[in-house]
A = this chain, B = another copy of it.
Amino acid sequence: MGLDAAAPKSYIRHMSVHKLEITAQPREPDMPETLGFRPLYRQVKAIFVRRLMDGVWAPGAVLPSEGQLAAEIGVSQGTVRKALDELAAENLVVRRQGRGTFVAEHDERRILFQFFKLAPDQGAPRFPDSVVLSVTTGPADDAERTALDLQEAAPITRIRRQRSFDGAPLIVETVSLPQALFPGLENGPIPNNLYSLYAGHYGITIANARERLKAVALSAKDAAALGAAAGEPALQIDRIALSLDGTPVEHRLSLCLTQEVHYLSDLR
Q: In residues 116-150 of chain A, which contact B (Cβ within 8 Å)?
A: 117
Task: Encode contact with B along A62-97: 1 for CB under 8 Å, 0 otherwise.
Answer: 000000000000000000000000000011000000
Asked whether A233 is an interface residue with its Cβ less than 8 Å from the other chain, the reply is yes
Give the total of A residues in contact with B, Cβ under 8 Å. Answer: 32
With A233-B233, A233-B234, A234-B233 given, is the CB distance from A264 to B215 under 8 Å? no
- Shortest CB-to-CB span from A211 to chain B, Å, is 4
- Shortest CB-to-CB span from A234 to chain B, Å, is 5
- What are the residues of chain B within 8 A of A114 when measuring CB–CB? 267-268
Task: Encode contact with B along A198-222: 1 for CB under 8 Å, 0 otherwise.
Answer: 0000000000111111111100000
Q: How far, in angstroms, from A208 to B213 measured CA to CA in the complex?
A: 21
Q: How far, in angstroms, from A233 to B230 measured CA to CA in the complex?
A: 12
- What are the residues of chain B within 8 A of A258 when measuring CB–CB? 213-216
Asked whether A57 is an interface residue with its Cβ less than 8 Å from the other chain, the reply is no
Asked whether A263 is an interface residue with its Cβ less than 8 Å from the other chain, the reply is yes
A265 and B215 within 8 A (CB): no
- Shortest CB-to-CB span from A70 to chain B, Å, is 18
B268 and A214 within 8 A (CB): no
- Shortest CB-to-CB span from A39 to chain B, Å, is 12
A interface residue numbers (CB < 8 A to B): 90-91, 114-115, 117, 208-217, 232-236, 238-239, 256, 258, 261-268
**Can you list 23 A-B contacts with CB-CB less than 8 angstroms, sorted by A residue number?**
A90-B268, A114-B267, A115-B267, A117-B267, A209-B267, A210-B267, A211-B267, A212-B263, A213-B213, A213-B235, A213-B264, A213-B265, A214-B235, A214-B258, A214-B262, A215-B236, A215-B258, A216-B233, A216-B258, A235-B235, A239-B267, A263-B265, A265-B265
